[in-house]
Amino acid sequence: MKFFVDTADVSAIRELNELGMVDGVTTNPSLILKAGRDITEVTREICEMVDGPVSAEVVAEKADDMIREGKTLAKIADNITVKVPLTWDGLKACRALSDDGHMVNVTLCFSPAQAILAAKAGATFISPFIGRLDDIHLDGVDLIEDIRTIYDNYGYETQILAASIRTVNHIIEVGKIGTDVITAPPNVIKSMATHVLTDKGLAQFTADWAKTGQKIG
């Protein structure tokens, strides 16, 4: 399973990247706002740090404008993936940018039908949003399963990038289904390391070790 980090927080990316856990990064306009940085400047910094694909999102609504913005973003670095929304214009932009040799991440996918269109339009990645479906009492993990089945049935090469991940359980569930990639906030990735029995076991070992009166080194 490839791990993308869903943030524009450079220090959080650096911490995970130093452990070799970062296969790529996804950003969006809300994450750029949260980082409080200039999009070109922060995206360039991330691209220099991370070897894998770094998604940068267009904000225009018309295909021609998305294509223009996408080409501008792609000039930031070779590992830029242009992120376009799953609208009809976004699909047109996806086809044009993909034909022009750019990696494209089609975002805001909420149905298998949308995912089929993205694959047909030459998307490198499709980003189904799990958490936002759960928010409206639908099952986001089911969407990943449906897309996996359909893509495998027809040999579509578009990679499934499970997005809007809120919990460790989301990561495990989409991993069992066989998502190609997950993108998750740094705190969710870090919380994969925690377990109540690990904490309990460590406390016991620490207490018993103190009773031995020994030291290592």
Residues marked active site are found at 83
| Contact between 132 and ligand E4P per CB under 6 A | yes
Going by C-alpha positions, the residue among 46, 59, 56 that lies closest to residue 16 is 46
| Contact between 28 and ligand E4P per CB under 6 A | yes
Residue with Cβ nearer ligand E4P (32 or 117): 32
| Contact between 7 and ligand E4P per CB under 6 A | no
| Contact between 114 and ligand E4P per CB under 6 A | no
Residue with Cβ nearer ligand E4P (17 or 127): 127
Write out the E strands in the chain.
2-6, 24-26, 54-57, 80-85, 103-109, 125-128, 159-162, 181-184
Going by C-alpha positions, the residue among 149, 148, 182, 180 that lies closest to residue 168 is 182
Stretch that binds ligand E4P, among 36-44, 123-131, 170-178, 187-195 (CB under 6 A): 123-131
Identify whether the C-beta of residue 145 lies closer than 8 Å to the C-beta of residue 112: no
| Contact between 52 and ligand E4P per CB under 6 A | no
Q: Given candidates 80, 84, 143, 163, which one binds ligand E4P under the rule CB under 6 A?
A: 163
- CA 2, distance to chain mean position in Å, is 9
* Minimum CB–partner distance for residue 112 and ligand E4P (Å): 18
Match 């950003």 to its residue by tokens: 27
Per-residue CA distances from 110 to 60, 61, 147, 157 (Å): 20, 18, 10, 19
Residue with Cβ nearer ligand E4P (107 or 179): 107
Identify whether the C-beta of residue 143 lies closer than 8 Å to the C-beta of residue 126: no
Residue ranges in 59-78 that form contacts with ligand E4P under rule CB under 6 A: none
| Residue ranges that bind ligand E4P, judged by CB under 6 A | 6, 26, 28, 107, 127, 129, 131-132, 163-164, 183
